[in-house]
Amino acid sequence: MMRFRDTIICSVCVLVAAGLFFAAGQQLDTINAQRQDMKLIINQPLENAPPSLAFATVAMGAFRGLVVDILWMRADKLKDEGKFFDSKQLAEWISILQPRFATVWEFQAWNMAYNISVAIPASQPEQRWQWVRNGYELLRDKGIQYNPKALILYRELARIFQHKMGGISDDAHKYYKIQLARMLGHIIGGVPDEFFVAAMKAPKTWEGLIEDPNIVQFVTAMQKADPAFTQDEAFVKSYFSLLEDTSRFAPDANSVLDRYKASDTLISFDLFARAYYLKKVWKMDVGIMHEVNEKFGPVDFGDPNAVLSMDWRHPDVHAIYWATVGFKLAGEQEGRELGSDEVNTDRIIIHSLQNLFRYGKIHFYPVKYYPVLEDGTQSTEPRYMTDAFLRPDLRMFDRYNAAAKALMIKYKDDRGRVESLGNGYRNMLINAVLSFYQARLNGQAMRVYKILQDTFPRPEFTVPLEVFARNRFLEEVRDNFGIHDAREQISGLLQESYYLYAIESDDEAYGRQQLAAQLHDYYMKEYGDEETRRVDLPPMSELHLLSIKDFLENQMYPDYIKEGYIGRMRLQQPEAFKRFQEWMETQQAEESPSPKSPEK
């Protein structure tokens, strides 16, 4: 009897277990589908892989991690051997096998932006640029999608913008800066911060946009005018292409645009289109861009509470943006350790702010050259190429200063890091004192000098400001007169000369201009390179025009000084005054080079 009862109980248990397994099996397809939709399935089949690798990844199942380890060691070895393209292929397979292995995305982007790009001759900058762009797009569009909390990826993305594109180590760095400005100039070049505030309130989707009946009328009119204006993303791209070149579309499309010109409807659509394009193509959020403007934007000396926009064509601004996003999404966990990834991301922000102080204003200008023809002879007909020159933006000092102080407080318990950060801070203060002093902004120079004296009490900082500035100037010229020093010194001397000219100290003004010209000649003789123009300076005539513009836009100079300069220039140097007026009329086009079509 007992045995029979046990048999019955076992049978019931088996039936219940079978039922549970059956029920679970019925849910499995649904669960797997949901995992697929949420991109939680990482064991995707490899495409274009050798049969042996494809077989191994399927057959080994749970041993897939071992396959990844072997591939990773092989990729690293190929990199060390200089076989960058082979290493790239293995890295691609690893990222497919283990998309949440953040380090492989970092490796692959670095390999493309740094190794593969420089394997291409500097005479082919467009090819180099493509690999640099491949690197940052891989991180931005794929790596971060799979690893949204991996700070290392945001740091590497920021580093590509700051160092590879914003720095001067690559022979094609000017080409990178020009291309970045071209891709973004027609979207956000020169827009005030009010644009970002308004864009935050704009519809986020196409469906939300066309809830407005006036927008529907505009969209319908454009679609009737030209079939290129289909729905959603294609419409936005066609809109920007039409703004760039009307000849690529039917004449009726431009007529519709003219009909809506300055209307609230077109203003609303334009606002949506720019914010939508930034989000869809550049993966950038206008709200965070506003936060970056608010926290790191240049200071308005006339109204310190005003929020000025960063120049979003500048690589260092993108470095700050992506480092900021990294901290927002990956660096705010409670009780986290301040590891090397966080330290290096913080350093990127602080170095980018320093760079923006030293060369935050971008200027594009035409350079005449005579190309070599197919028969090997040099053309007698000149052609023109666009060159880039970056110059100081003294409005960035206070942003740098606040960030540097905050960073030393953040790492106050790490003596080594505080010492390292302090050394950089001290050097920046020394440079800033000289920059303000040479721009004849003695009040600002004295303020920074006082910060230097209070923070770093040393005997060499106890001398009068004039003596300190002179000693620093001689030290820079004598010991290490690099491109950053050259543009700061020359710009400062020229602006000082305009101030002296305005107050009728003509001999002193002439002396400053002569010294600036001598420094220019000395630098170009020592470091100029006509072939790559990697660290060349513009001609003195262009530097004069730029420095006059900076002098007149500098809020720290009283209006009566600027008016005095312009008045004397108009009367005593009429040809120079006319040339400056004509040059200023072309600045809007030169400051934002003719954009290419929006990215495909």
* 80 occurs within a structural domain: no
Is the Cβ–Cβ distance between 220 and 252 less than 8 Å? no
On the 0-12 / 13-18 / 19+ scale of CB atoms within 10 A, 178 is: buried
330, 387, 316: which is closest to 358 by C-alpha? 316
d(CA 590, CA 529): 23
Tens digits of per-residue pLDDT, 234-290?
Answer: 899 999 999 888 888 999 999 999 999 989 999 999 999 999 999 999 999 999 999
Tally the domains of the chain.
Answer: 1
Contact between residue 229 and residue 238 where contact means Cβ atoms under 8 Å apart: yes
Residue 168 lies in a domain: no
pLDDT at 15: 52
Residue 21: inside a domain? no
Q: What is the rounded CA–CA span in Å between residue 101 and residue 94?
A: 8
Report the distance separating Cα 379 and Cα 377, nearest Å.
6
CA–CA gap between residue 493 and residue 205 (Å, rounded): 51
Instruction: Give how far Cα 310 sits from Cα of 282, 284, 298, 315, Å.
Output: 17, 14, 7, 11
For residue 291, what are the domain limits? 191-296
Strand partners, 383: 369
491 within some domain: no
Task: Return the H-helix or E-strand segment holding 171.
Answer: none
Shortest CA distance to 354 belongs to which of 401, 309, 423? 401
Closest CA relative to residue 353, chosen from 313, 392, 306, 301: 392
- 195 inside domain: yes
d(CA 577, CA 552): 13
Alpha helix segments (H runs only) across 297-339: 315-330
Q: What is the model's pLDDT at position 34?
A: 56
The pLDDT score that the predictor gives to residue 47 is: 55
Question: 455: part of which helix (H) or strand (E)?
Answer: helix 442-455
Q: Helix, strand or coil for residue 313?
A: coil
With contact defined as beta carbons under 8 Å apart, do 161 and 315 qualify?
A: yes
Q: What is the pLDDT of residue 27?
A: 55
Interatomic CA distance for residues 554 and 265, integer angstroms: 37
Could you identify the residue written with the tokens 């010492």? Answer: 419
pLDDT number for residue 378: 81
Q: Is residue 104 part of a domain?
A: no
Q: Report pLDDT for 589.
A: 56
Q: Is residue 451 part of a domain?
A: no
SS3 482: coil
149 found inside a domain: no
Helices (H), 38-83: 51-59, 64-80
Quick one: which of 310, 362, 312, 321 has its CA closest to 189?
312
pLDDT for position 592: 46
Taking 50 as the pLDDT cut, the residues of the chain under it are 2, 4, 12, 14, 16-17, 21, 28, 32, 35, 39-42, 46, 53, 334-335, 592-600
Beta bridge partner(s), residue 388: 364
What backbone phi and psi angles, to 5 degrees, belong to 190? 75, 5
